[in-house]
Structure 1
Amino acid sequence: MITPFQALACPLDGGPLRRHGTSWRCDAGHCFDLAAQGYTNLLPVQQKRSRDPGDSKEMVAARRRYLNAGFYQPIAALVSRTVLANLPAGRAAACLDAGCGEGYYLRELAAAGDGQRLALLGLDISKWAVLAAAKQDKRPNWVVGSNAKLPVLPATLDRVLCMFGFPVYAEFARVLRPGGELLQVDAGPDHLRELREIIYPTLKPERAAEPLSPAGFSVLPAESLRYTVTLGGAEQIGDLLTMTPHLYRASAEGRAKAAALTALSLTVDVRLTRFRREAE
């Protein structure tokens, strides 16, 4: 059962936000309206680095099509299974997807967690991503915000997800309860290798480094996942390229080579690293 997420914090003063009708308000009087589409913008203009930060509308649409086609469903299943293991009993477990994109992994978690009480929050700096997430599923709370200053009260979360994103360990440590876990998914050395071999002249050798323990965390056993997918058609290949940083890193010649493909077999290679929040 998905329950409302109640641990939002004012991005201006850090105080608790409380829901009043179609807005969130703190004791200092700051007010943030709930958009008609079902999300809240908690990214003040002074915290923006550009006028329209994060993924563009086109990148979000491409990611939505690609993920909804199921190519990363095994990743979502692994993450959901790990999140749901050993959750606290007697209350709703609070989980944040920090950099949620268009919400795919939280939707999969909500489906997998049927029967468990979960309070889910999806946060992304891209308003287009949060808008797409809110349109697809009303069960989690969706907010526009920044990992650099999470609009979440201290020590209120049981799980934080960072999926191919930009971890801000100090903030993750602040919002996790002691014993809570950070689940970080990163690309492995062979992730999308076949695509990278097409769009780049040469590939840089990648070294597999053991994860260091960030301040406030202890490292738990990691897990790797590797499998093959086949993309059929230029649209799916184009969506994959559009939704990744490779779109901007590849040369015009490399992008042209990818655009000429009609099918592509790809290696998916990811690593799930877990960190436990230590007691102070």
Structure 2
Amino acid sequence: MNTTSFESLACPLDGNPLQRENKVWRCPQGHSFDIARQGYVNLLPVQKKRSKEPGDSKAMVAARQRFLEAGYYRPIADAVSAAILNGAARGSELSCLDAGCGEGYYLRQLASPNGEISLSLLGLDISKWAVLAAARREKRAGWVVGSNANLPVLPASVDRLLCLFGFPVYPEFARVMRPGGRLVQVDAGQDHLRELREIVYPEVRADSRKVAPVPEGFRRIGTQDLRFTVHLEGAEPIADLLAMTPHLYRASAEGRARAAALKTLSVTVDVCLQTFERYNPAG
């Protein structure tokens, strides 16, 4: 499978197409964005940041990288890759955007040799630490610091869009996707990491599973529930799992201390993978 960097980027200030000139991306209005030596570009303007360093911290990114590279979530990665490639004809070319890519694990798995399909890949995350880690590991994809609320991507330029445990902004997703393109979304189920949550919180609600409504401009074409058990041995992978989730900051000091005292943990992974197709505006 031929894998290249996705380059249909848009200026985050005015929406005009960006053109690459050596180590700089420029738009017709003169806005320019330097490409870092690691290969990524920052397309998140200062005036659109809500904090100095939005998104995951350097420590959270490192924890997620260690945990994912250990293969604990490989069944999710395999299911995502299958959903992305499903229905694609041999010899076809697909542009794929991971909106909220983190440290790039899922795009790296997708980029592994898998049939006669050409992929142009772009990973985007609001955390510069995540994009930096991703760019260091995978040189075939493009990597951008940016926001799902204002994707620096040209309209109707994406065939496949991933949103995994992230923050979907469906109007933006619809804008950048081609008619017939597919959105692959993964969300936590009601029992996801339940055993860990029971340790760090005094009470865990038994919420019923809710099927998200179909976003405007899309139709649901597939739903897959994934449920399996992960066995963690040693304090480090347990600490990494907690550190890569919002539970690290939501839990009390007592809850975090209980988790830190664990030497082994079996935890349920419960996620729902949904695939949506972008409507053809003409029909």
Q: Taking structure 1 as the reference length, what is the TM-score of the superposition? A: 0.98
Partner residue, 1:127: 128
After TM superposition, the structure 1 = structure 2 runs for residues 1-280 of structure 1, keeping only pairs within 5 Å, are 1-87=2-88, 91-113=92-114, 115-280=116-281
Matched residues in 1 for 2:227 and 2:113: separation?
21
Counterpart secondary structure, 1:111: coil
Q: What letter corresponds to residue 269 of structure 2 in structure 1?
A: V
CA deviations over 1:63-119 (Å, ceiling 9, x no partner): 000000000000000000110112266652100000000000000000153542000
Q: CA deviation digits over 1:152-203, x for unaligned, max 9?
A: 0001101110010000000000001011011110011111111111111111
One-letter code aligned to 2:107: L
Higher mean C-alpha displacement, 26-35 vs 79-88: 79-88
Say if 1:3 and 1:92, in contact at 8 Å, map to a contact too. no
Which amino acid is the alignment partner of residue 84 of structure 1?
A: L
State the 1:204 CA deviation: 1.1
Contact 2:91–2:116 (CA<8 Å) still a contact in 1?
Answer: no
Matching residue's letter, 1:140: A
Check the 8 A contact 1:212/1:219 in 2, yes or no.
no
Asked if the contact 2:156/2:179 (under 8 Å) is kept, the reply is: yes
2:169 alignment partner AA: V
Structure 1 gap segments, 5+ residues each: none
CA distance in 2: counterparts of 1:209 and 1:275, whole angstroms: 17
Counterpart-to-counterpart distance in 1, 2:85 and 2:276: 15
Cα distance in 2, alignment partners of residues 4 and 237 from structure 1: 34
Partner SS state of residue 224, structure 1: strand
Task: Note closer, same or farther for the CA distance 1:118–1:225 as it changes in structure 2 (3 Å cut).
Answer: same
Residues 9 and 99 from structure 1, CA distance in 2 versus in 1: closer, same or farther, beyond 3 angstroms? same
Larger deviation: 205-214 or 121-130?
205-214
1:223 partner amino acid = Q
Letter in 2 for 1:166: F
Report how many aligned residue pairs link the two structures: 280
> Displacement of 1:268 after TM fit?
0.7
Q: Is the 8 A contact 1:181 1:274 kept in 2?
A: yes
How far apart in 2 are the matches of 1:113 and 1:3?
A: 14
- Percent identity between matched residues is 64
Query: Retained in 2: the 8 A contact 1:94–1:156?
Result: yes
> Deviation above 2 Å: which 4+ runs of structure 1?
87-92, 112-115
Distance, in Å, in 1 between the alignment partners of 2:7 and 2:89 is 17
Q: Which stretch of structure 1 is more off in the superposition, 142-151 or 86-95?
A: 86-95
Given that 1:93 and 1:158 are in contact with CA atoms closer than 8 Å, whether structure 2 keeps it comes out as yes
Could you tell me the TM-score, scaled by structure 2's length? Answer: 0.96
Quick check: 2:100–2:124 contact (8 Å CA) kept in 1?
A: yes
Counterpart of 2:134, as a letter, is A
Q: What is the CA distance between 1:222 and its match in structure 2?
A: 0.4
Is contact 1:157–1:177 with CA below 8 Å preserved after alignment?
Answer: yes
Unaligned runs of 5+ in 2: none
Aligned 8 A contact 2:88 2:117 in 1: no
CA RMSD, Structure 1 to Structure 2 (Å): 1.1
Distance between the aligned counterparts of 2:37 and 2:279, measured in 1? 39
More off after superposition, 201-210 vs 31-40: 201-210
* CA contact 2:43–2:144 (8 Å) conserved in 1: yes
Measure, in 2, the Cα distance between the counterparts of 1:2 and 1:188: 32
Q: Distance in 2 between matches of 1:43 and 1:239?
A: 28
Instruction: Tell me the distance in 2 between the aligned counterparts of 1:244 and 1:263.
Output: 18
Query: Could you report, residue by residue, the CA deviation over 1:28-82 in whole angstroms, capped at 9, with x for unpaired residues?
Result: 1111111001100000101111110000000000000000000000000000011
